[in-house]
Structure 1
Amino acid sequence: MTAHQEGASVILIEPSRWLGGMLSAGIKPAQDCPMPAAVGGLTSRAVFGFGTNPYDVQRAFQDWIAGAGIEVIFEHRVRSVIRTHNRITAVQLETSTPDKWGVPLPASDAVPDGEVHAAVFIDASYEGDLMALAGVRYRTGREAREAYGEEPAGVRPVTNWTPIDPYLVPGDRAGGLVPLLEPDHGLPVGAADDYTQAYNYRFYVTADPTRRADLTPPDGYSPADYELVRRYVAHLGSDTEALRGIFPGWINSGEYNYQRASLITNAPVGVSRAYQDGDWDVRSRIWRQHIDYLRGLHHFLSTDPAVPADFRAATAAYGLDASVFPDTDGWPPQLYVRVSRRLDGLYTLTHADVINQTRPRDSIGLALFGVDVYPVRRVPRHNPETGQLGVATEGDMFIGGHLGTGYPYGVPYRAIAPRRSDCGNLLVPVCLSATHIGYAATRMEPVFCVLAESAAVAAVQSLRAGTDVQDLDITELQNRLVDRGQVLAWNAGGESR
């Protein structure tokens, strides 16, 4: 929309049938925005006014784009990239038609279909495929503490430790771990690894039969796959509130979210590790795994005699609310991919930026949130105090709460720009250049909207100047952003631009 408003011709490539990403899949536009005055531009003037029901937001995005006459190529994704020297000249596409529940087409089922030539490209996807296929450097996983001097980086102390035997045959290590657990890699606190935080669906449930879409068990369902849940339920006893932490989770502005304080919750843990740099065969399988896990969990909690009868009955009454996501039988059309690839660009956003220890002069928008990381692993672990064997999660943290350090920090233009040798006509406002910790505070949907608007202005200015994106006149860019209403700086005592 911004590039169109700035006078450029635009083609938008959308792998699904829907626009809006997570904003039309469960996260409300103003959610995760603890200080609205720090958000400007189109995000404040338009997106925040799109409503609160995800289906209404989805239609608002589509009406907005259609009203502007912007061409959208739906159900296609990038397959390969054509380059000349350090510039992308074209992207070759493939089909990506989602199934009835919104799961993307596996790579093995996709076929080549079309090619788009352009002067400048913006990768605004959650996965960063255009960036990766263009040969641009990127990161995945968690950096070590010493890599950027970030105290919270790398492997973390365990959380949610629970005295549950982790082995299929209790006490018999040789028999292997129960499902939903993985072996502990044993790396020390602060070490780097290739894990990232859990994903989930931001779904709506209802017991109203006029809106309810049944949650049926997946093919091949076996209660044995939920043996860890059985043991956790036995540990919780009749604590209904704790049981609700497993399913449906905690209520977050109307939709259900991952209850990070629960050992078991409404999404699988650890599978996001493979998603980050996986192909669409892997990713499609992981989307399906999230759906089937939730279906099986609901069935187990609705039927298994190990679950208290009252809670079984309450859970069985729930189905997905098909009125919220009518096109996909109540399933959100986007998996909440909290983080995947991260650009290795001109500037790496770190914890120091998040806690206002830096003042970048090339800010193109503000971010504000605590370091918000959901669990990355669930592993067997001995209690550090008693030595007793149990099960725990690892990696989750929420440093600073919703307000972070209390006032917003600037995201520099250099954090969305690749190195010149990597690519001269690509900007990456979503998979931006940041550490695991820096990204964990910056990854909010309103911030992505702000950075995407600024990226589009930069793209048009680069196009008109005939320069690589790395050579942009930052003062000219910032002046235009301020003209558009973007907020670029914040003083502890109040707003400034």
Structure 2
Amino acid sequence: MNRLILSYAFCIVFSSLIASCAENIPETTNDFKVDVCIYGATPAGIASAISASKLDKSVILIEPTVRIGGMVTNGLSHTDFHSFEALSGTFLDFTQRVEKYYSNQYGENSKQVEDSFRGTFGEPKVNLMIFQQMLDEHPNIKVIKEASLSEVRISNSKILSTEFKRGENNLKLQAEIFIDATYEGDLMAMAGVSYTVGREGKDVYNESLAPDTTDNQLQAYNFRFCATEDPANRVEVKKPYGYDRNDFVEILPILESGVFDKVFGYPPQKAIYKAHLPVNPNNKFDINDMSKGIVRLSLPGKNLGWPDGSPEQRKEIFEDHLYHNVGLLYFLQNDSEVPEKYRTDAKNWGWCKDEFVENDHLPLQLYVREARRMIGQHIYIQKDSEPVGEDSRAVFHESSIATGDYGNNCHGTHHVGPLIGGMHEGEFYNPVPPYQIPYGVLLPKEVNNLLVPVAISSSHVGFCALRLEPIWTSLGQAAGFAAALAIDSKKNPDKIEVDILQETLHEDGSATIYVGDVLPSDSNFEVVQWWGAQGGLHQLNTTSKPGQRGKNIVGQYYEAAPLHDVNLEKTLEPETKDRWIVISRKIGIQDKDLNILQQMEKRGDFIREAYNLTH
């Protein structure tokens, strides 16, 4: 831990003396040269910038929109994870800061602190503020907003420079390493990296969740609104441009049938708009598409032009989704033919007066669940998040640089029948054990100085396990450290020592394997994570029912996944000790030291001693 802390402290204290720091670039210039250039200030991009900065690298973080934070500051306040034990690294730091904000602002025992759900449910404006504060702590990170990629120059499999359009100006930028943290993979694509859009057929990767044949279907998009029933902070829903009630009348017979309990609700209630529970702080709700519903906000098929689309095409798709998502609610609130029960319920809701004030209280980004997917050095597929045999854990990845616990999740890729009242197809929700993510998903084949932590290398089914903000943030954190280590070692990112990258992540509190009982705050965290990276935590427990979750807390959130504890104080079983001795020999521990390990009686003592013998 000392190496990372000292490096971080050195950069903070002496950043004004570092000639390469981005803060020293004159504001008037349009030409930049830095260590690391990151395109996309999504949570992954922010994490990349912070981790590269912690290792003394100068960073430029370029965001094409006016707001940093991606979907986490654009309405996605109900973060997708299943257990708190799955959160680590930069994302955990972010949530702890959110919780601390509410504690400082409203009191430690306030309703706002409770509703923040340990800081994982933050108001969009609060999430934005926290991300900005995190970046502000690093003076060698320069953030540029409203700049769109226009050109990438390549030579000998390396990106030499990039150019960005910002208003009437062109920004030219050189860097040692580039990171594409956009949801769409725009830098990756412009750099000539191989990618795919659509779904692979079952025969391509032998995935049971895949369709029979390959097609161009794409997971559906919708908006994540921030809404409230609080009259003091409620803004009425305005009629969208071009509104025509005839576009929404198909819902009338569905309402008359009484199939819906209400307009806004959360399963098992039957509702049109999913209002996530628990409620967010200050009586705000994250509004989403209702999974498996008969009336949907998501529009599969309407988004096919987005991944490779021009700015004009994307703008049209954005406006089509906004029209449907907002227009439907306006219809429910105001049309005289809507049954009074539903009209009254709908009228109780509105946008939050203090959110998205620069955009008429509407999010500035569409929820792009899936766009391009890189074809990189490791293609993450369905089996990468499934167990082998009866092991309670998912398949072991020796080069793991992040974890997840959500499972493969798709809101649908195709719609049959009428837009309102039809049915989505291609929808699935597949529980799996917590899983590891190998380093190769970040690495393209064609370009040597690029890392891609969001449009990652994966199949459609595999991507549906990785497409979550906490996971993307962890992947971004790994990308930032990998970029810095590559620069320091004068190697391409795919040639760095992955074990050094893993230990750097562990030092920074980021997990590479899920452990339910040894969390980042535990003094044993780094040691246990290191042992997990050697394969020592696999086969500790077996089960005939993989993918079990802990006791339900509320909604989609659960206690720690069972059979994923290390139990450091547990007596070391002979068969486990024998297996751990084999691992110890494999990683280079000599016979004389193996004798010491043979004397260990508890799991924790063995792991700590093995760590000490190798460090």
TM-score range, shorter chain: 0.7 to 0.9
Other structure's SS at 1:89 match? strand
User: What does residue 43 of structure 1 align with?
Assistant: 91
Separation in structure 2 between the aligned mates of residue 271 and residue 464 of structure 1, nearest angstrom: 45
Separation in structure 2 between the aligned mates of residue 3 and residue 317 of structure 1, nearest angstrom: 46
Separation in structure 2 between the aligned mates of residue 326 and residue 67 of structure 1, nearest angstrom: 26
1:113-156 Cα deviation digits (max 9, x unpaired): 211111100111111100000000011111101110001112xx
User: What does residue 416 of structure 2 align with?
Assistant: 379
Q: What amino acid is aligned across from residue 430 of structure 2 in structure 1?
A: I
User: What does residue 193 of structure 2 align with?
Assistant: 136
Q: 1:240 and 2:310 equivalent?
A: no
Offset of residue 71 of structure 1: 0.7
Other structure's SS at 2:403 match? strand
Q: Measured at CA, do residues 46 and 225 of structure 1 come closer, stay the same or move farther in structure 2, by a change above 3 Å? A: closer
Offset of residue 471 of structure 1: 1.3
Q: 1:460 and 2:484 equivalent?
A: yes
Separation in structure 2 between the aligned mates of residue 485 and residue 276 of structure 1, nearest angstrom: 34
Other structure's SS at 1:376 match? strand
1:414 to 404, 425, 440: 440
What pairs with 1:10-25 in structure 2 (closer than 5 Å)? 10-25=59-74
1:364-388 Cα deviation digits (max 9, x unpaired): 111111211002222139xxxxxxx
Q: 1:438 and 2:438 equivalent?
A: no
Q: Measured at CA, do residues 203 and 444 of structure 1 come closer, stay the same or move farther in structure 2, by a change above 3 Å? A: same
1:307 to 330, 338, 357: 338
What pairs with 1:27-426 in structure 2 (closer than 5 Å)? 27-28=76-77, 31-50=79-98, 51=119, 52-69=122-139, 70-95=141-166, 113-154=170-211, 190-234=212-256, 236-237=257-258, 239-241=260-262, 247-254=272-279, 255-357=286-388, 358-380=395-417, 391-400=422-431, 405-406=432-433, 408-419=434-445, 422-426=446-450
1:46-69 Cα deviation digits (max 9, x unpaired): 444324222111011112212322
Offset of residue 412 of structure 1: 0.5
Offset of residue 288 of structure 1: 1.6
1:193-240 Cα deviation digits (max 9, x unpaired): 111111122212234443222312223221222243334334x33643
Separation in structure 2 between the aligned mates of residue 251 and residue 460 of structure 1, nearest angstrom: 39
Q: What amino acid is aligned across from residue 476 of structure 1 in structure 2?
A: I
TM-score, normalised to structure 2, is 0.66
Structure 1 vs Structure 2: percent identity of aligned residues?
Answer: 29
Other structure's SS at 2:304 match? helix
Aligned length: 431
Other structure's SS at 1:72 match? strand
Offset of residue 111 of structure 1: 5.5
Q: Which runs of 4+ in 1 moved over 6 A?
A: none
Moved more, 262-271 or 459-468: 262-271
Q: Measured at CA, do residues 269 and 461 of structure 1 come closer, stay the same or move farther in structure 2, by a change above 3 Å? A: same
Offset of residue 293 of structure 1: 1.3
Bigger radius of gyration:
2
Structure 2, unmatched stretches of 5+, are 1-49, 99-118, 280-285, 389-394, 515-536, 538-562, 567-606
Greater relative contact order (Cα < 8 A, sep 6+)? 1
1:340-399 Cα deviation digits (max 9, x unpaired): 111100001111011134322111111111211002222139xxxxxxxx9422111111
**Conserved? CA contact 1:126–1:339, under 8 Å:** yes
Separation in structure 1 between the aligned mates of residue 379 and residue 93 of structure 2, nearest angstrom: 29
Other structure's SS at 2:344 match? helix
Q: Measured at CA, do residues 257 and 243 of structure 1 come closer, stay the same or move farther in structure 2, by a change above 3 Å? A: closer
Separation in structure 2 between the aligned mates of residue 345 and residue 53 of structure 1, nearest angstrom: 36
Separation in structure 2 between the aligned mates of residue 208 and residue 312 of structure 1, nearest angstrom: 17
TM-score, normalised to structure 1, is 0.81
Other structure's SS at 1:455 match? helix
Offset of residue 303 of structure 1: 3.1
Other structure's SS at 1:94 match? strand
User: What does residue 46 of structure 2 align with?
Assistant: none
Separation in structure 1 between the aligned mates of residue 404 and residue 258 of structure 2, nearest angstrom: 42
**Conserved? CA contact 1:198–1:269, under 8 Å:** yes
Q: What amino acid is aligned across from residue 14 of structure 1 in structure 2?
A: E
Q: Measured at CA, do residues 246 and 85 of structure 1 come closer, stay the same or move farther in structure 2, by a change above 3 Å? A: farther
Q: Measured at CA, do residues 391 and 331 of structure 1 come closer, stay the same or move farther in structure 2, by a change above 3 Å? A: closer
1:228-284 Cα deviation digits (max 9, x unpaired): 3334334x3364337865643342443121102212123433222221222221112
RMSD, matched Cα: 2.3
Other structure's SS at 2:176 match? coil
Q: Measured at CA, do residues 147 and 111 of structure 1 come closer, stay the same or move farther in structure 2, by a change above 3 Å? A: farther
Other structure's SS at 2:225 match? coil
Offset of residue 25 of structure 1: 1.9
Separation in structure 1 between the aligned mates of residue 201 and residue 500 of structure 2, nearest angstrom: 37
Other structure's SS at 1:457 match? helix
Moved more, 197-206 or 117-126: 197-206
Separation in structure 2 between the aligned mates of residue 34 and residue 263 of structure 1, nearest angstrom: 26
Q: What amino acid is aligned across from residue 368 of structure 2 in structure 1?
A: V
Separation in structure 1 between the aligned mates of residue 174 and residue 307 of structure 2, nearest angstrom: 27
Structure 1, unmatched stretches of 5+, are 96-109, 155-189, 382-389
Q: What amino acid is aligned across from residue 400 of structure 2 in structure 1?
A: S
